[in-house]
Structure 1
Amino acid sequence: MNKQIRTTIYNFSGILVLTGTILYLTQWIYAPYVFAFGSAGICLSYLTAPYQVLDFRRRRLHRFNIFAGILMLASSAFMFKHRTEWILCLSIAALLQVYTAFVTPKEK
């Protein structure tokens, strides 16, 4: 998958995750589906990103992103079961993504 398509999927999925989270708080019945599609798109974009050419530090950060995507999928499963653990999983995933965003070295 090329970089432009992956970026488009990631951006659209981020909007779906945010929309699904907000709509779940309003008790809309289809909100877990919106959130699940968004989290699946984010996880897909992380899993298809190339990592073979990365150095040790970037590979570690890439693994953090993959783990964050898996946590988002787990939080969508908790949303379907109407359990409150989805908030914890989503919070941990968000912290991992924020950490990765600030620690990732800049391109030259």
Structure 2
Amino acid sequence: MNPRIRTYVFSISALLLLVGAVLYLTRWVVAPYLFAVGSAGITVCYLTESVVGLDFRQKRLHRFNVLSGLLMIAASAFMFKGKMEWVVLLAISAIFQTYAAFMSGKGKKS
């Protein structure tokens, strides 16, 4: 996938994910669908990212991002069922993404 297209897809998906999570509090019927499309888009962006030429540390951080995307998809499944466990899965996913973001930035400074 073209990096520019991936950036647009990721941005739109992140916006849909955020809107779906916020609108779920209002019990709007469309909210789980927005969340599911957003989480699927983010996961596709992570899965289509090339890992060729990355060192071991960067590949590990990439796997964290892929795992966080899969956790977001699982969170959307819980959201459709009306269970509140989706919040826990989303929080774990956010922790993985935050860790990967800080550690990948730390590796580039050295």
TM-score category of the 2 structures, normalised to the smaller one: over 0.9
Instruction: Output the CA distance in 2 between the equivalents of 1:44 and 1:58.
Output: 18
Q: Return the letter of the residue paired with 2:35.
A: F
Aligned length: 108
1:7-60 Cα distance to aligned partner (Å, 9 max, x none): 110011000000000000111011000000000000000000000210000000
The 4+ residue runs of structure 1 with deviation greater than 6 A are: none
Larger relative helix fraction: 2
Counterpart residue type for residue 15 of structure 2: I
Unmatched segments (≥5 aa) in structure 2:
none
User: Structure 1 unaligned runs (5+)?
Assistant: none
AA paired with 1:64? F
Structure 2 matches for 1:26-105, cutoff 5 A?
26-104=26-104, 105=107
TM norm structure 2 = 0.95
Structural RMSD (CA): 1.2
Normalising by structure 1, we get a TM-score of 0.97
Letter in 1 for 2:27: Q
Q: What SS does structure 2 have at the residue aligned with 1:106?
A: helix
Distance 2:109 2:50 in 1: 16
